[in-house]
Structure 1
Amino acid sequence: MTHHVVLRVVAKLIIPLILLFALYVQFHGDYGPGGGFQAGVIFSAALILYALVFGLDSAQRAVPTTAVRVLMALGVLLYGGVGITSMLLGGNFLEYDVFAAEPAAGQHLGILLVELGVGITVSTTMLAIFYAFAGRRAAR
């Protein structure tokens, strides 16, 4: 891929914008369309584009497989942890009202944390699937 100079330059320009858009979708999700799942897909699409343009080895140096696995588990733990914490505070599982004195503030915080967990999990799961398939050797 070293001879595709235009592709590499355009990718270097557009990948940060894709990542920025993923963050916008992530943090704007409780105000409008979007949220953790959509942001996770967009975020992983940027990383997959990086791998396609610059090579799988380069992508795995930037985001190692071990980090992907740890973040995948962390996202699930964040989602479940919000639910368990709400139960420990006297509410039902994923009842966000108990996180703050004002229910609206608790709802906002709870949804933000759950959507962040979903975004991390979706992004790293898609990246793990890509790494698994892209790293396979062709059968002869």
Structure 2
Amino acid sequence: MIRHHLILRVVTKLLIGPIMLFALYVQFHGDYSPGGGFQAGVIMAVAFIIYGVVFGLATVQQVLPPWLVHKLLALGVIIYAGTGFASLFLGYAYLDYGAFSPAHPEHGQHWGILAVELGVGITVTGVMVAVYYAFAARTPMLSDEDW
């Protein structure tokens, strides 16, 4: 690991936690305010991408291994689709969230939207980090000396 840029490394470590906390805020308040799964997924991915840019690809891959990123991609899709199939199995239309609380459909709407947005957030986080890993792992066309 390169041992220069001490201030950048310290500031990055200080910002990672608040960035992730803000991503969780956007995730779980997306049905009440602007935001939701997509925005939260991008914000969460940014935390890992910043960490990787500052500390290197190998270091961020120790924190979030590539095999786990691929599992996140599938998990998010399973949560999203599973929410729809659960409503089908309960006798409602696909992604009809009223199925989750037939006595109080507005409660079912709330739970269904949270589940779908969670699936979207997990998938987007996985996709963004996977794209970063793919680009960062590429061998450069020019060496540093050729610049």
Which residue does the alignment assign to 2:50?
Answer: 49
The TM-score, its normalising length taken from structure 1, stands at: 0.98
Which residue does the alignment assign to 2:21?
Answer: 20
Residue by residue over 1:71-103, the C-alpha shift from the partner in whole angstroms, topping out at 9 and shown as x without a partner, is 110000100000011011011110000101310
1:110 counterpart letter in structure 2: G
Instruction: Report deviation, 1:2.
Output: 1.7
Residue by residue over 1:6-42, the C-alpha shift from the partner in whole angstroms, topping out at 9 and shown as x without a partner, is 0011011111000000000000000010000000000
Which residue does the alignment assign to 2:117?
Answer: 115
How far, CA to CA, are the matches of 2:7 and 2:98 in structure 1?
51
Which residue does the alignment assign to 1:132?
Answer: 134
How far, CA to CA, are the matches of 2:3 and 2:19 in structure 1?
22
Computing the radius of gyration from Cα coordinates, the structure with the larger value is 2
Q: Which runs of 5+ in 1 are unaligned?
A: none
How far, CA to CA, are the matches of 1:36 and 1:62 in structure 2?
22
1:7 has 2:16 as partner: no
How far, CA to CA, are the matches of 2:42 and 2:132 in structure 1?
12
How far, CA to CA, are the matches of 1:99 and 1:2 in structure 2?
53
- Report how many residues are paired: 140
Q: Which runs of 5+ in 2 are unaligned?
A: 143-147
How far, CA to CA, are the matches of 1:72 and 1:119 in structure 2?
10
How far, CA to CA, are the matches of 1:86 and 1:2 in structure 2?
53
Which residue does the alignment assign to 1:39?
Answer: 40
Which residue does the alignment assign to 1:66?
Answer: 67
Instruction: Report deviation, 1:110.
Output: 0.3
The TM-score, its normalising length taken from structure 2, stands at: 0.93
Moved over 3 A (4+): none
